[in-house]
Amino acid sequence: MSKYLISIVGATAIGKTALSIQLANHFHTEIISCDSRQFFKEMTIGTAVPSKEELNAATHHFVQHISIFDTYNVGQFEKDAIAKLDELFQQHDIVIMVGGSGLYVDAVLKGLDEFPKVDPQIRENLNKQLELNGIDSLQNQLLELDPEYYKRVALGNPHRLIRALEICVGSGKPYSSFLKDKASARNFTAIKIGLTASRPVIYDRINQRVAIMLKEGLLEEAKALYPHKSLNALKTVGYRELFEYFDGNWTLDFAISEIKKNTRRFAKRQGTWFRKDETTRWFEYQDRIETIVKEIENRLA
């Protein structure tokens, strides 16, 4: 195929945005974001949306393109992203995709699994269960109904747990039984690039990022969003912990320490997810751009 999608993955705070811009400029092309936390207009600081300078340095798509009040899911993103790629490939032979949301990356590269329709009331009941009994109750229920998927899912992500459980409950079958092995046909070739670092380095970069977010006004951003804390979009690291502080359940210092801890856990899950794909070529986060470009150009050749 003559069209290529360069997919850049890796843990949060590893430097994916900077690399994607460098590659977009080198190949004179545009960037598709598949970071599901950066889709929302109202969430800027806590999701580490690229700065104005970064957005101006290369054309980005799917950054703050919807509202937290909109209904949007990975299925809709897959359709939107494939349509945008068809459009971009009319002008470019190469497009860059960047983001740390593994499910969204896979949706574009491989396509989504097909699940049966289930009663919407099941999801409502599970959301109430989360509210009343906490995330532990969802984790325990998934362990019972689908131990195979329990080993693979991001256990700290209530959206993923609820999605799996509504299929388990609604169909009477394990969620994992609907996961397909064969990827959907795509009209491009994927070149997968991963950025990595030692765990202490990743954790240090996470701590630095949280400190920068707080300095830039994360507390004020979360306060403005607090009245809408029940929305799915806001049940995410960086906001969820500060809502506990606003509720009077935690001190501010403890909430900040929980943001760092939960972000570290998220980074670990990202590593587990992306490492499963043996076709990804991994580079150290400090590797020279020339080294990565050479690898890509060898693949293009």
Pick from 38, 15, 53, 46: nearest CA to 213: 46
Cβ(277)–Cβ(283) below 8 Å: no
134 is in an annotated binding site: no
233 is in an annotated binding site: no
Which residues fall within 8 angstroms of residue 135, CB to CB, at 6 or more apart?
155, 156, 158, 161
202 is in an annotated binding site: no
12 is in an annotated binding site: yes
Q: How far apart are CA 197 and CA 203, in angstroms?
A: 10
- H or E stretch including 33? strand 31-33
Exposed, middle or buried by CB within 10 Å (0-12, 13-18, 19+), for 255? buried
Q: How far apart are CA 246 and CA 156, in angstroms?
A: 21
3-state SS, residue 76: helix
Amino acid at 300: L
14 is in an annotated binding site: yes
58 is in an annotated binding site: no
Residues annotated in a binding site for ATP: 10-17
Residues annotated in a binding site for substrate: 12-17
Residues annotated in a binding site: 10-17
